[in-house]
Structure 1
Amino acid sequence: MEHHLPQLIQDLALILIAAAAVTIIFKKIRQPLVLGYIIAGFFVGPYFSFFPNIVDASNVSIWANIGVIFLLFSLGLEFSFKKLIKVGGSASITAFVEIIFIVTLGFFAGQWMGWNYMDSLFLGGMLASSSTTIIIKAFDELGVKHKKYARIVFGVLVVEDIVVILLMVLLSTLAVSQQFNGNELMFAIAKLIFFLITIYLTGIYVLPTIFRLSRKVLDDEMMLIISIGLCFGLVVLATKAGLSAELGAFLMGTILGETLYSEKVEHLIKPMKDLFGAVFFISIGMMIDPAAMLAYKWPILIITLLTLVGKFMLTTFGAVLSGQPFRQSVQVGASMAQIGEFAFIVAALGLSLNVTSDFLFPVAVGVSAITTFTTPYMISYSDHIHRFMEKMTPNSMLRAIDKYSDQFQTIQQESGWKKLIKSYFATILLNTVVIVALVLGGHNLLMPFLEDYLANSITARIITLCVVILASVPFLWAITIQRIQPKVYKELWKGNYFSRGPMVLVDLLRILIGIIIVQFIIYRFYPSLIVSVLGIPLTLLFLYFLSTKIQSLHNLIVKRFLYNFYERDIYAKEKLRLEKDDKEKYKRKIDSLWSTYVAEFEVGQYAEYIGKRLDELAWRENFGINVAYIKRGEKVVYTPNAHDRIFPFDKIGLLGDEEHIRDFENKKFRMEEVGQNFVTQTGLEDFVLMNFLVTRNASFLGKSIKEIELREKTDGLVVGIERDGKRLLNPPSATILLLNDLVWIVGNKKLIHQFMKENNL
């Protein structure tokens, strides 16, 4: 009986087998795997007839989109928002310089090739963004993603993605109306900013708290399901808001990247990222049509050169303008010289709107395929490119660039007014976004629910209005009344009499903004002049008279957010502190070495113990000392066993503390002390007293001294154990070694070191 196998499984089998075969070859010849994936995609694609081809390309395209989502999600996990903030200024300047010039060059290149106005305009949009996924993969394979210039590149990519989203809105508007609509563009920018701030603030406030409350049940399986669910949930939300799926995946990655579970999530999703990412790059290879590329070879060649040279030079120029050193700027430029998935999206947008020609998409695929091949080589040879450019650049210009970079990167002390204005702006913006989010939530979720539940729209509106205003009170207080930067404010107020007027005006402006926001809330639910006249002053009086309690509530909210935001940093500092304490504790243990030393004596020819075995003498049991070695002529017996005997003229090394050796000396014989602190003067420098700490990694944890065969493996003898601040001298061989035991052993130095290395001590 023949069973029908879904075509998707057959296609995936073909894709993965082809990818495995090609990438094994690329591994052997030490070439980037992403190139192997693209070649494998071409082999199984519709334009190569010598191998079996993919039948259902639409399903593969869905898997490829999932791959992009995982790649962007992984990027967000590795490069959190705090890290991106550090390169935000440099990345923004670099990105804007590169985008403005490359879009302009792309437009004029299209006009020069005889393309129409819309084709040229969309060509500029195609060139605006480099491929985040290809660069991530290339950086990962080349091992450079943790270098300083890589952080700049990732910052530029994030800015590019955001700008391209706005550019797509602008292109859509131009395509439909054939004219520039500034209002729609401004609305798109405001919507993007609102989405980013709202989701990020909500995610940081909620997710770490939930993780802390449920940490006892968060095993690997649950963490994987939750993180992927959150990622795809935000992808859906972003697309419904008119933004890109990639932006939603990246944003959720940055949120989870601030939690204590970021490394675990990154580790858990890596296999899925590798799998779906491979499918994505294979799907790019499947779109390579040699016939179409040959038909449009000259436009592809021209645009490829424009991409490689233009984006490289312009990005390098932007990085130099942002204050980066010349070498780092060249590395950033070399990394950005390609186009990727957004080029396909922009080209497909033009086709869907019926405003661009059919050839634009195969041109985009051809340029993307070629520049994908060149990207790993541009990155790996960026130092060679830098050295070449350095030789070609006049020394005076190089010195000017270095001087500019030094001056630009010098931290300038901000004036009091600048600090104050920046703090006011940030406070007003963030709290306004939270209030708007509360208003939208109340209007779109709470009010419809209450209308259905109460069957009375007026009552539902009034209840919703009251709930939203009460929920907004802490944030209204922050906008209107909170003393922002009190120390700076006090210095400005006392320092300059003429500063007081502007400061009062700024405070009045804050109150005015608060009034406008209250008016916005009221009119959203109950557009009545009477309600506004009564509601605004009542809200302001409420804020004023209950200021202390509202301040406490606001401080509690901010404190929780800041703790979640810096949770990883707090945990890292606490971990370092505990490790430092452990090291100090361990150091104190080492510094408090027992007063143990090796004393050597020669056995007389008439001694009473001649010919007796060590177990018969019982020196360890009776005097608390150990026979460390017996030197008989040129032969040395290290840590002799119980059956070894004492003979005339043997030189015996006794190990013990001062009290035990003195007691043994007084009762048995006189001896000459020749060494202290586990160093003898007998030429036995390799025979030492050492210690090791029993850790969780120790394979012998919970085993006895006899079971781990310490004597056989080290030619040694355990002479003491420190446990819980107590000292166990000469422990029996049946003693079990416990966690954090500090074990003292006398024996062969090299063998002891080897034993410690084998057991990760």
Structure 2
Amino acid sequence: MGGAFVAAAVLARLGNRIGLPTIPLFILAGILLGPHTPGYVLVDDPHELEMLSTLGLVLLLFYLGLEFHVGDLKAGGRKMALAGGIYLVLNVGAGLGFGFALGWGTSEALVLAGVLGISSSAIVTKTLVDLGRLGNAETKPILGIIVVDDIFLALYLAALQPVLTGADEAGTALLQIAKAFAFLLVLGLAARFGNRVINRLFATRDNELLVISFLGAAVLVAGVAEEFGVADAIGAFMVGLMLGNTASGDRIRELVHPLRDAFGAIFFFGFGLSIDPGDLPTVLVPVLLAVALTLAMNVLSGVCTARIYAFGARPAANVATTLLARGEFSLILAAMAAAAGLDDRLAPFIAGYVLILAVLSPLLTGQTSRIPASPSTTKEPPSDTAPTSAASQESSGNGTASDRPSYAEPPA
């Protein structure tokens, strides 16, 4: 674990000197020091860091929930649902068509639909934080699309599991979907109507107690979510959504920063450990075709989102490039495919596809600031996308990693 932190820090420092984002460098550190590349092997088995990697994902999504307020859902729910629905139709539909075109099988095509269709919440969150774009007008729609994606993913995984395992009864699939939906509904109702009770539970002036409380809540609910067939990251996101609206919300955002950054680095490092570069040449052509298809669908989705919110060219490019990344959920699907004994080409395909987009998305997103700002991008954002948190109000529009928002301690 110590070697992982040091390796990630060294590469990130080198990358900062030449203007590279940290995410691909953390992944590169994992690849270079993993069991699949020659030279020194820091971690023989990627599963040794699995729990720490999961904690990194949970904290990244917990922070995302802190930035996304219930008021945003009430004010702009229809637009967010429309933008998220368009994103899913374009990307999942393209992924399904691409899967059938490859001719690897029906189950394989269903897996590829999810791999190509769902963006990486962890990479999107980290990219927005690193570039200081939490206060941008287009950030709320980006987070809204992520929420729609994650809700779809929970139901999609519940439906896909019995298909891959060969369950004959449709009732099995329906039961899993119902459990997942019921759990999300309970969390949503708690976020909507339980603010007063939650505020009392987390009302403390002691930072130590507050850290233990919110960390325990996020991890516990994430674990319970998995038991109900919902991705653990979505459970953590919902906890962040609840706590972000409490009186302690700003303090929690400040206190979670070092935890989020440290374990987020381990998540991406662990992601790199799972990639075997030697398998990539066998599926290079399909991978490149899938990357080109995903890029085209994201550009089209960015244009549609800009039309819905009356954004200009730069916000449209930000939407398209930020959501381009694929990551943790694609790897979950790869593990499910391997356990189900599907085509052996799926694992290296998913690894290569995810690796390219995980690197390409932060790099392209960092370049969108060069696009001239149209008059619409300099106006006040619409009411349903207006930043509502201290983090959003204090973050810059197109900053760098050094422009991360800071939060003031509220008066006693």
Report the TM-score when normalising by structure 1. 0.47
Aligned counterpart, 1:206 = 197
Question: Shift of residue 266 of structure 1?
Answer: 1.7
Aligned counterpart, 1:443 = none
1:185 to 1:64, Cα distance in 2 relative to 1, 3 A:
closer
SS at match of 1:50: coil
Whole-Å separation in 2 of the counterparts to 1:249 and 1:161? 12
Aligned counterpart, 2:119 = 130
Question: Shift of residue 157 of structure 1?
Answer: 0.3
Deviation per CA, 1:224-269: give whole Å up to 9, x if none.
Answer: 1111111122112222222121111111111111111112112222
Aligned counterpart, 1:171 = 160
Question: Shift of residue 342 of structure 1?
Answer: 0.9
Out of 172, 179, 187, the position equivalent to 2:178 is 187
Out of 187, 197, 200, the position equivalent to 2:188 is 197
Whole-Å separation in 1 of the counterparts to 2:293 and 2:302? 14
Aligned counterpart, 2:336 = 349
Question: Residue 57 in 1 paired to residue 46 in 2?
Answer: yes
Question: Shift of residue 357 of structure 1?
Answer: 1.7
Whole-Å separation in 2 of the counterparts to 1:92 and 1:86? 12
Question: Residue 277 in 1 paired to residue 264 in 2?
Answer: yes
Which aligned pairs between 1:143-542 and structure 2 lie closer than 5 A? 143-175=132-164, 176-177=166-167, 183-184=174-175, 187-188=178-179, 190-201=181-192, 203-212=194-203, 215=204, 218-313=205-300, 315-320=301-306, 322-327=308-313, 328-354=315-341, 356-382=342-368
Letter in 2 for 1:275: A
Contact persistence 2:158–2:180 (CA under 8 A)? no
Deviation per CA, 1:329-352: give whole Å up to 9, x if none.
Answer: 333122211211111112222333
1:373 to 1:178, Cα distance in 2 relative to 1, 3 A:
farther
Letter in 2 for 1:319: T
Whole-Å separation in 2 of the counterparts to 1:385 and 1:160? 27
Letter in 2 for 1:365: A
Q: Which structure is higher in RCO with an 8 Å CA cutoff and minimum separation 6?
A: 2
Contact persistence 2:92–2:118 (CA under 8 A)? no
Contact persistence 2:123–2:327 (CA under 8 A)? yes
Whole-Å separation in 1 of the counterparts to 2:291 and 2:14? 27
Question: Shift of residue 370 of structure 1?
Answer: 0.7
1:385 to 1:304, Cα distance in 2 relative to 1, 3 A:
farther
Aligned counterpart, 2:403 = none
Whole-Å separation in 2 of the counterparts to 1:132 and 1:381? 20
SS at match of 1:87: helix
Whole-Å separation in 2 of the counterparts to 1:103 and 1:377? 24
1:189 to 1:276, Cα distance in 2 relative to 1, 3 A:
closer
Letter in 2 for 1:40: A
SS at match of 1:322: helix
Deviation per CA, 1:310-346: give whole Å up to 9, x if none.
Answer: 2332x22441453433423333122211211111112
1:334 to 1:249, Cα distance in 2 relative to 1, 3 A:
same
Root-mean-square deviation over aligned CA pairs: 2.7
Whole-Å separation in 2 of the counterparts to 1:135 and 1:287? 20
Whole-Å separation in 2 of the counterparts to 1:266 and 1:229? 15
Letter in 2 for 1:206: V
SS at match of 1:148: coil
Aligned counterpart, 1:28 = 17
Whole-Å separation in 2 of the counterparts to 1:200 and 1:60? 32
Whole-Å separation in 2 of the counterparts to 1:240 and 1:199? 19
Aligned counterpart, 2:88 = 99
Question: Shift of residue 152 of structure 1?
Answer: 0.8
SS at match of 1:147: coil
Whole-Å separation in 1 of the counterparts to 2:345 and 2:307? 36
1:252 to 1:62, Cα distance in 2 relative to 1, 3 A:
same
Contact persistence 1:42–1:285 (CA under 8 A)? yes
Letter in 1 for 2:356: I
Contact persistence 2:142–2:323 (CA under 8 A)? yes
Contact persistence 2:176–2:229 (CA under 8 A)? no
Contact persistence 2:52–2:263 (CA under 8 A)? yes
